[in-house]
Amino acid sequence: MYNKKSSSVYAIVASDSDIELVTSIISNCLSNNSMNRLTNKNAKDGYLKALEILNNKDIDFVKAGIYQLRSIQGQSIARHAVNYLRGECNERVLLSSLIKDNLLK
């Protein structure tokens, strides 16, 4: 006889103030001119959708319109936004794809 240990997954859902902070970080990055470069288009599209998801607090992938994005990178960023709202990832994961550029300040 053995004891079967049940595993539990704990989700920590972001507070409204956390969501506002993440939204402002994304907005600041998107306002930088380097985000308008062609090479950053997919990331920009993903983060624009992520802002929409965060503002509307969409926690459903289909209803959020993630699959309307054309690039895998954009869809991935938008999925992270939904997962962040669900408590399945933290803000570091969501913000990890922000463009690292020496012009970003």
Q: Does residue 22 sit within a domain?
A: yes
Note the pLDDT tens digit of each residue in 2-34: 333 444 556 788 999 999 999 999 999 999 888
46 falls within a domain: yes
Quote the distance between the C-alpha of residue 78 and its chain's center: 5
* Residue 25, domain member (yes or no): yes
**Number of domains within the chain:** 1
* pLDDT per position as a tens digit, 23-81: 999 999 999 888 999 999 999 999 999 999 999 999 999 999 999 999 999 999 999 99
The amino acid that residue 75 corresponds to is Q
Within-domain flag for 105:
no
The answer to the question of residue 1 being in a domain is no
Q: Are 99 and 40 in contact (CB under 8 A)?
A: yes
Range of the domain at 41: 16-95
Residue 8 within a domain: no
Residue 102 lies in a domain: no
